[in-house]
Structures are given as C-alpha cells and as structure tokens.
C-alpha cells in the first residue's frame, strides 16, 4: 500500500496517494508497528503539505514526532523535526522554522549520516537567506558545499552550488561567477540532464541580473530553451518561466507591445499546466493571479475576475483551504482598485505607469523569491 501511495505521489495524484497512505497507516496501527506508524504519519502529513493544507500537515508531523520520540526512533524524529520546520517556513514563521531545523540537524549529526546533515545545512541557510541574514546563510551554504564535495555526489554538489550562487547574486557578483564556473565544470564532466539545466539556468540568472539589453537578450534565449525542454526538474522549468515573464515585462515597459503580454499569458498557461501535473498547488494559484494581473494590464477586467473565480473554485473543490486567504486578498485588492485601474487605462497612461499601479512586477518578484526557496 505504501509503495502504491508513493507511486501516485510521484505522479502528483495526491488524493489517491493519500488513500493508500491512510490504508497503510490503518494496517500499521492494527499490527502495532510503531516505527512504521511514525513513518506513515509523516507521509500523510507530507501529502497534506503538498495540498496546501498546512494545519493538517502540521498535526500529522507533530504526531509522528511524538511517536518517534517516545520510541527512540532517531531518524524519524529528525525527519519529523525537518517536516515541522518546513511547515513553519512555508507559513513565514522563520524563527520557529529555524528552531526545528536546528533540532533536526543536532540529531542527524549524532547519527552521522552526511546527506541528511547536508540537507539541514541548506534548509537552515535558506531560512537565514529569507531573513536577510546573508552572511549566516552563506555560512551554512558553505558547510553544505564542503560536505557535498566530501561525499562526491555531483548532483547534490550542483544543487548547493546553484543555491550559493543565487545568494551571491545579491552579495558578490565576482563570487557568483566563480560558482557558475564550478557548476559549468561539473556539468561538463557529468552527462546529467538536471546538472546541465542547473548550469544553464544559473548562467541565465547572472546574465539577467546585469540589466544590460544584450545580456538580457541572451538570458531570454537560454530561459526559452529551458522552458521548452520536456525532461528535467519541475523547479527549474517553473523558475525559468517566472524569470522569462519578468524579462518580458521589462520589454513591455520599453516597447508597449501587446504581443509581449500575449507571450506572457502563454507562459503562465504553461506554468499552470505543469503545476497541475506536479501537484504544486500554491504555484498553480500564483499563475492564475499573475495571469489576472496581465489581463488587467490589457484592460480585460472580466477575464481577470473570472481567473480569480477559477482559482477559488479549484481550491474549494479540492479542499485546499490553506490557499483560500491568498485568493480572498487578491479579490479584495481587485475590488478596491477596480475603478482606479479603469480610470488609469482610460487616460492612456504609459505601460510603466500601469505596471506600477497594478504592481505586477512587485508580485512577480515575490513569487520568484518564494518559489526559489521551496
């Protein structure tokens, strides 16, 4: 049952996966296998987290923590602490997130398993990154990097190199380029699609950060190719689409071409479909919200309203209650600003003014920052 649940989970079919996990948990309870129960409780919690139901996920993770602590299951205890930390991270409660990831790290270091330790280093670094404590973030990223080098895992090493490079984009472009060269070398030495994609995506981010037309054009071309590729990490495809949309909006400010907005809508439709297939519901909802903002830029208020209604129907039908407040906030913002936005468009304001009023760039940057740490 558990293996079948894992299969459906890998396909993004979380509802079916949950049924098999719950059946496995029922069997584990019947035979009284506490270790299996603790593991299955965490699996159920992970499904609820993927569905955006963070309260339910937290409840199961805490139950798994209690069982594992009572029975001395160190590895499951460490996993439970990490899972709880991820929930608090997703909620934006970074102090609590840090506390639980540090507890997880302490146990992992007692066990002495390098890969889970490296994962905790990266998770803690991500929290410091979000808190704006870049030096602390770098400290933990470098710990993860050193451990990854010792383990000699090219895929894991490429991941932390990319994460550290992303931080250096805000701190030290010279070091960012150094990390890019290391990443490109690993890509050259390993015939691995994911490493290749990480390397090319990192190059695009560095080119994009220059804000120079010729280099931005190169970044645009790399991101377009990454979006077209069928095989690879969802996260790279997702972030390539988001960053490509940001470049297109910059182009729209300069040229005010409706074709550019139409291209953005096509990309956001692709993001929706990929997020649906992956079961990444928070990103799916963000794609609908961003698409609504693009429709408003074009003066299409009814389609924008319909997109938010579609978002609400989607989460309501699937019981993804954790995403409803975000949609409500967006609906209120649209309602409160509708008359102002219509007046602005009637006055034939510039693309720059419209984008500033609608705040689409601000929202897109927020989604890019959010997605890059999840």
pLDDT digits (tens, 9 = 90+) for 90-99: 777 899 999 9
User: pLDDT class for 231, splitting at 50, 70, 90?
Assistant: low
User: pLDDT class for 370, splitting at 50, 70, 90?
Assistant: low
What distance in Å separates the CA atoms of residue 114 and residue 76, rounded to the nearest whole number?
16
The answer, yes or no, to whether residue 373 has pLDDT greater than 60, is no
What distance in Å separates the CA atoms of residue 297 and residue 292, rounded to the nearest whole number?
9
370, with CB counted inside 10 A (0-12, 13-18, 19+), is: middle
Q: What percentage of the chain exceeds 70 in pLDDT?
A: 97
pLDDT of residue 347: 61
User: pLDDT class for 372, splitting at 50, 70, 90?
Assistant: low
What is the pTM for the complete model shown?
0.81
How high does pLDDT run on average in the chain? 90
Summarised one tens digit per residue, pLDDT across range 100-148 is 999 999 999 999 989 999 999 999 999 998 888 999 999 999 999 999 9
Give strand ranges (E) for 199-331.
Answer: none
pLDDT of residue 5: 77
Cβ neighbours around 351 below 10 Å, total = 18
Q: Where are the domains of the chain?
A: 114-232
CB neighbours of 248 closer than 8 A, spacing ≥ 6? 260, 261, 263, 264, 267
pLDDT of residue 153: 87
What distance in Å separates the CA atoms of residue 283 and residue 287, rounded to the nearest whole number?
6
User: pLDDT class for 316, splitting at 50, 70, 90?
Assistant: confident
First-to-last CA distance in the chain? 28
CA 150, 154, 155: angle at the middle one, nearest 5? 120
pLDDT of residue 12: 66
What distance in Å separates the CA atoms of residue 234 and residue 54, rounded to the nearest whole number?
22
The better pLDDT of the pair 3, 334 is held by 334
Average of pLDDT values for 227-248? 89
User: pLDDT class for 14, splitting at 50, 70, 90?
Assistant: confident
Summarised one tens digit per residue, pLDDT across range 41-77 is 999 999 888 777 888 999 999 999 999 999 999 999 9
The answer, yes or no, to whether residue 78 has pLDDT greater than 90, is yes
pLDDT of residue 213: 87
pLDDT of residue 77: 97
Q: What percentage of the chain exceeds 90 in pLDDT?
A: 61
pLDDT of residue 185: 96
Average of pLDDT values for 175-204? 95
User: pLDDT class for 288, splitting at 50, 70, 90?
Assistant: very high
What distance in Å separates the CA atoms of residue 14 and residue 48, rounded to the nearest whole number?
8
pLDDT of residue 8: 74
pLDDT of residue 277: 78
CB neighbours of 67 closer than 8 A, spacing ≥ 6? 34, 37, 38, 41, 73, 76
The answer, yes or no, to whether residue 338 has pLDDT greater than 80, is yes
The answer, yes or no, to whether residue 374 has pLDDT greater than 70, is no
Q: Which fold has domain 114-232?
A: 1.25.40
């Amino acid at each position: 049952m558990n293996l079948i649940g894992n299969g459906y989970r890998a396909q993004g079919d979380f509802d079916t996966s949950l049924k098999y996990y719950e059946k496995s948990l029922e069997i584990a309870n019947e035979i009284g296998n506490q270790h299996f129960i603790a593991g299955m409780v965490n699996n159920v919690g992970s499904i609820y987290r993927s569905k955006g139901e963070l309260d339910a996920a937290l409840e199961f993770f805490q139950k798994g923590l209690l069982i594992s602590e009572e029975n001395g299951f160190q590895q499951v205890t460490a996993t439970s602490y990490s899972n709880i930390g991820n929930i608090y991270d997703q909620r934006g409660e970074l102090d609590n997130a840090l506390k639980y990831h540090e507890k997880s790290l302490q146990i992992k270091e007692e066990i002495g398993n390098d890969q889970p330790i490296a994962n905790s280093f990266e998770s803690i670094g991500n929290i410091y990154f979000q808190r704006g404590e870049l030096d602390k973030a770098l400290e933990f990223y470098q710990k993860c990097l050193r451990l990854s080098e010792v383990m000699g895992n090219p895929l894991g090493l490429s991941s932390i190199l990319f994460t550290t490079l992303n931080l250096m984009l805000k701190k030290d472009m010279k070091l960012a380029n150094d990390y890019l060269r290391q990443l490109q070398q690993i890509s050259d030495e390993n015939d691995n699609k994911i490493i290749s994609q990480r390397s090319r995506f990192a190059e695009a981010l560095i080119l994009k950060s220059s804000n120079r037309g010729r280099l931005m054009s190169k970044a645009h071309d790399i991101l377009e190719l990454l979006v077209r590729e069928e095989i690879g990490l969802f996260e790279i495809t997702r972030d390539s689409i988001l960053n490509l949309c940001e470049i297109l909006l910059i182009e729209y400010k300069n040229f005010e071409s409706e074709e550019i907005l139409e291209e953005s809508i096509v990309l956001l439709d692709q993001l929706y479909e990929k997020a649906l297939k992956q079961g990444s519901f928070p990103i799916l909802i963000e794609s609908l919200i961003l698409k609504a903002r693009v429709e408003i830029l074009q003066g299409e208020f009814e389609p924008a309203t319909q997109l938010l209604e579609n978002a609400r129907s989607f989460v309501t039908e699937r019981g993804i209650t954790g995403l409803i407040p975000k949609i409500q906030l967006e609906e209120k913002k649209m309602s409160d600003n509708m008359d102002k936005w219509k007046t602005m468009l009637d006055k034939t304001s510039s693309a720059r003014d419209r984008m500033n009023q609608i705040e689409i760039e601000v929202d897109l940057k927020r989604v890019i920052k959010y997605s890059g740490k999840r």
